[in-house]
Structure 1
Amino acid sequence: MHIPDNYLSPGTCAVMFAVAAPVIAVSAKKVKVQLKEHKELAPMLGIAASLSFLMMMFNVPVPGGTSAHAVGGTLLAILIGPYAASIAVTVALILQAFLFGDGGILALGANIFNMAIIMPFTGYWIYNFLRKHHHPSIGTVVGSYCGINLAALMAGLELGIQPLIAHTASGAPLYNPYPLAVTIPAMAFAHLAVAGWIEAFFTYVVYSFVKRVAPNEIYQNTMVKDTKKGSIKYLIYVIIGLVVLSPIGLLTTGTAFGEWDNAELLQRLKVEHISSTVPTGMSHGFNYTALFGDYTIPGTSLPIGYILSAITAILIFFLISKVLMSIYGSTNKAANK
């Protein structure tokens, strides 16, 4: 679901940034208020971003030779609220794009809208509705399943409209060459049949674990409560477990639909007798080389590089949370004097 650069036209990228920016701004403002009242939210933001980042490393095969992955947007919303979850997933997506080359830089607006806005807010609304009707466990499953599928539908729409809005005078697509009739079924099938269930499984398992060992960590649609260090350690155990297991994501060799590089896309276009060339806008588009592209660390084997990439991301999230703790810890002390 990480749309790379050059699959969307510059106009589409600009529109998606314009749509996503106000929501992220409002989310950041609300999280800032929460942090001023409860600095303990800071480590939870770091943990949440780590959970989402790690969940997205577990690629699973999809029939047809592609792959998909969970995101954790609804899970984070259940743990820290939809606004904080939106910020946490956004931070994870930014790090993935700039440091690991997973998702485009120009396409960040679209990826943030799909995974950091649509998913946590939709998933949490469904979960909260069922929770109020005394079915929180069902809410986690239904909310997470619907959240990721709606996000996938949006990605399919964004990709599929490209041949309609960006093409040459002769009608040849300039960016993503696949129309809506291809992109929506492809994204829908991958997530309805596979990724949605993986997302629901992850969400339910972690939710059930947290509910059992640290029930106060579950967001109650009120101001975030104080977080005890003893309860945070259980989530840290989950993160450590995911880091150790992260190389499992390497077992899936197929590339997710709409995330191919130009060489792989060209091969597909030739095999499918669609075109003998990559669309012009893609072949002459924006190119960014990430430091640890494809989660590889120079001088290490792929599994070790994968684990080191996960650890690197977690350390960055930890440092960000420490900075927030320092800033808002000082603010709280000054306010209490």
Structure 2
Amino acid sequence: MHIPDNYLSPATCGTLLLAVTPIWTVSVLKVKAQIKTKRETIPMMGVTAALAFLIMMFNVPIPGGTTAHAVGGTLLAVLIGPWAACLSLSVTLLLQALLFGDGGVIAFGANVLNMAVIMPFVGYAFYRLGQRLGHERIGLAVGAYVGICTAALAAGVELGLQPLLFHTASGQPLYCPYGLNITVPAMLLAHVLVAGWVEAGFTLVVFHFVKQVMPQSLYQAPLTGAQPLGLRYWGYLLVGLACLSPLGLLARGTAWGEWSTSELHQRIGLVPQGMHHGFNFKALFADYSLPGLPTAASYLLAAATVLLICLLVVRASQHDQKD
């Protein structure tokens, strides 16, 4: 679901970045207010950002030779609140783009809209509805499933509009070469049939784990600065996921719509002009790999890097709270 650079026009990327900017602004204001009564919010944002990153490392095969993955958007919204989840997921997407080349740099706003705005807010709405009806876990599962499918639909629409809006005088697409009749079914089917169920299942498992060992980490719980965060349990969960992350390599193939220009050329026999001459950013750990290291070792190193960043954020936030 990570839209790479040059699949969307610069105008589309700029418009979507502008669209999410006020949402970031409101999120910051909401989180500042939340911190006054739930001081654990800041370290939990670091923890959940790492959790989302690790979740997205577990690719699953999709019929047709592509792959997809869960995101954890609804799970984060339930754990720390939808506004804080928006910021945490935005940080995760930024790290993925800058360090690992997963998702575009100029397409950052589009990916944030889909995975850090639409997914957690839609999912959280269904979760709250389930709570009110007395079926919390059903609401959570439905929210996780509908949230990721809605985000996939948005990505499909963004990609599919490109040939209609941006093309040469002869009608050749400048960016994503596939129209809505292809992008929407391709994105939706992958998530409706496979990734949505993985998202719902993973969300329920982690939610049950949290409820059992650290219920105070839930957004709805009456948190106070005196209550423990259960960071030891979070550490166990994150390290366990990091160690298992190479399992995500078992699913072969590239996610639909995330092909490199060479892969796209193999598929359709050409590379649209806007993509061929577009923005080219070289990430430090492009494709989660390092020259000279086995793929599995590189994957583990990527997971460890994010865990280290998470640890630094948690430590810094705890130090600030003591001050």
Q: Same fold (TM over 0.5)?
A: yes
Compute the RMSD of aligned alpha carbons: 1.5
Tell me if the contact between 2:37 and 2:224 (Cα under 8 Å) persists in the aligned partners: no
- 1:214 shift after superposition: 1.9
Residue 232 of structure 1 and its aligned partner are, at CA, apart by 2.4
Tell me, yes or no, if structure 1 residue 64 matches structure 2 residue 57.
no
Which segments of 5 or more consecutive residues in structure 1 lack a partner in the other structure? 271-276, 331-337
| Residue 316 (structure 1) aligned with residue 315 (structure 2) | no
Conserved 8 A contact 2:216-2:223: no
Q: 1:141 & 1:314 partners in 2: Cα distance?
A: 27
Counterpart of 1:299 in 2: which secondary structure? coil
Q: Secondary structure at the match of 1:119?
A: helix
SS at match of 2:230: helix
Q: Which residue of 1 aligns with 2:234?
A: 235
Match of 2:252 in 1: 253
Distance in 2, matches of 1:149 and 1:213, equals 30
> For residues 211 and 223 of structure 1, do their structure 2 counterparts lie closer, same or farther at Cα, with a shift above 3 Å needed?
closer
Instruction: Please state how far the C-alpha of 1:83 moved relative to its aligned partner.
Output: 0.7
Q: What is the distance in 2 between the residues matched to 1:250 and 1:142?
A: 28
In the TM superposition, residue 252 of structure 1 has moved relative to its aligned partner by 1.2
Q: In the alignment, what sits opposite 2:111?
A: 111
Q: How does 1:133-148 map to 2 (within 5 A)?
A: 133-148=133-148
In structure 1, how many angstroms separate the alpha carbons of the residues matched to 2:122 and 2:257? Answer: 23
SS of the residue 1:60 aligns to: strand
- Measured after TM superposition, the shift of residue 116 of structure 1 is 0.2
Structure 2, unaligned runs of 5 or more: none
Q: CA deviation at 1:32?
A: 2.1
How much does 1:25 deviate? 1.4
Aligned 8 A contact 2:65 2:253 in 1: yes
Residue in 1 that maps onto 2:157? 157
State the identity as a percent. Answer: 54
- Tell me the equivalent position of 2:130: 130
CA contact under 8 A between 1:35 and 1:41: conserved in structure 2?
Answer: yes
Aligned residues: 323
Structure 1 residue corresponding to 2:285, chosen from 292, 295, 299: 292
SS of the counterpart of 1:190? helix
Q: How does 1:176-215 map to 2 (within 5 A)?
A: 176-215=176-215
Query: What is the CA distance between 1:320 and its match in structure 2?
Result: 2.5
Give the aligned partner of residue 274 of structure 1. none
Q: Tell me the CA shift for residue 202 of structure 1.
A: 0.6
- Matched ranges for 1:256-295 at <5 A: 256-270=255-269, 277-295=270-288
Q: CA deviation at 1:40?
A: 2.0
TM-superposed CA distance for 1:216, in Å, is 2.3
Report matched runs for 1:67-78 at 5 Å. 67-78=67-78
Rounded Cα–Cα distance in structure 2 between residues aligned with 1:306 and 1:178: 31
Q: CA shift at 1:217, angstroms?
A: 1.9
User: What is the one-letter code of the residue matched to 2:42?
Assistant: A
Query: Whole-Å Cα distance in 1 between the matches of residues 82 and 257 of structure 2?
Result: 27
Shift of 1:12: 0.4
- The answer to whether the Cα contact below 8 Å between 2:216 and 2:227 also exists between their aligned partners in 1 is no
CA contact (8 A) 1:297 1:309 kept: no
Cα–Cα, structure 1 residues 235 and 39, in superposed 2: closer, same or farther, change >3 Å?
A: same
Inter-partner Cα distance in structure 1 for 2:59 and 2:278: 27
The two structures have a TM-score, normalised by structure 2, of 0.96
Residues 13-64 of structure 1 deviation map (CA, whole Å, 9 limit, x = unaligned): 0110011111111112211222344432222111100110000000101001
Q: What are the Cα deviations for residues 218-245 of structure 1, in whole angstroms up to 9, with x where unaligned?
A: 221x775447446222222111111011
Contact 1:58 1:70 in 2 (8 A): yes
Shift of 1:291: 0.4
Judged with a 3 Å threshold, the aligned counterparts in structure 2 of structure 1 residues 226 and 198 are, in CA distance, closer, same or farther, namely: farther
Query: Do 1:60 and 1:68's aligned partners in 2 also have CA atoms closer than 8 Å?
Result: yes
State the partner residue of 1:81.
81
Q: Distance in 2 between matches of 1:329 and 1:121?
A: 32
Deviation at 1:87, TM superposition (A): 0.8
Q: Distance in 1 between matches of 2:25 and 2:222?
A: 19
Q: Which residue of 2 aligns with 1:334?
A: none
Match of 2:295 in 1: 302
Instruction: Name the SS for the 1:68 alignment partner.
Output: strand
Matched, 1:22 2:22: yes
